[in-house]
């Protein structure tokens, strides 16, 4: 699966916020305020219900680090940061994923420019297959014949019998 990653602007260059950036930031702030109001109206959860939710969410396996892509992003507040997103996502601003700026604390801060940096980690090397080839007594590489295996079996049986007699003496 090949993913074509998108970019928008250059996060490290000077960036002028557009009307669309201001509109998206305003929408993100409105949504965050609405969510806060809804949460304030909600009845408090019991410890048991909270524990059940944690168990439910805890059972969701986090993908391994090599399934994430690193992105350099410029936030609405003009700060540049790195974020990680799943490697199937072609942009770091997909969905409702506004960031909280770790420098100034602006929350939410929409992503206004971004570029892909590279994988968050390298995948582990695939396990090497064990070779089915062996070296026969004649020194050649290849699969051993039935006659060779029977001869080796016979030699080993004689060796085991000799060891048994030595131990018995």
Q: Which of 5-14, 85-94, 130-139 has the lowest mean pLDDT?
A: 130-139
What is the overall mean pLDDT for the chain? 87
Q: HSE-up of 105 (CA within 13 Å, CB side)? A: 0
Element (H, E) at 116: strand 111-119
Q: What whole-number distance in Å separates Cα of residue 25 and Cα of residue 101?
A: 13
User: Residues 44-68: pLDDT tens digits?
Assistant: 889 999 899 888 888 777 889 999 9
What pLDDT score does 90 carry?
93
First vs last C-alpha separation in the chain: 68
Among 28, 40, 4, 31, residue whose Cα is nearest residue 111: 28
The encoded tokens of residue 14 equal 């000077």
CB 148 within 8 A of CB 136: yes
Q: What is the pLDDT of residues 146-160, one digit of tens each?
A: 888 999 999 999 988
**Which H or E run includes 69?**
strand 68-75
Task: Tell me the mean pLDDT in the region 122-149.
Answer: 73
Exposed, middle or buried: residue 93 (CB in 10 Å: 0-12, 13-18, 19+)? buried
Band (pLDDT 50/70/90 cuts) for residue 134 is: low
Distances (CA, A) of 68 to 8, 24, 41, 75, 169: 19, 26, 36, 20, 67
């Amino acid at each position: 699966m090949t993913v074509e990653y998108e970019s928008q602007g250059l996060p490290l260059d000077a960036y002028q916020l557009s009307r669309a950036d201001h509109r998206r930031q305003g929408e993100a702030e409105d949504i965050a305020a609405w969510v806060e109001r809804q949460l304030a109206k909600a009845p408090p959860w019991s410890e048991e219900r909270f524990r059940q939710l944690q168990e439910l969410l805890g059972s969701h396996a986090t993908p391994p680090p090599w399934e994430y892509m690193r992105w350099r992003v410029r936030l609405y507040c003009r700060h540049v940061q790195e974020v990680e997103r799943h490697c199937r996502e072609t942009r770091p601003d997909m969905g409702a994923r506004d960031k909280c700026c770790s420098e100034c604390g602006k929350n939410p801060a929409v992503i206004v420019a971004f570029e892909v940096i590279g994988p968050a980690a390298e995948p582990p090397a695939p396990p090497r297959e064990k070779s089915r080839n062996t070296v026969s007594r004649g020194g050649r590489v290849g699969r051993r014949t039935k006659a060779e295996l029977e001869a080796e079996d016979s030699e080993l049986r004689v060796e085991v019998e000799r060891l048994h007699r030595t131990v018995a003496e």
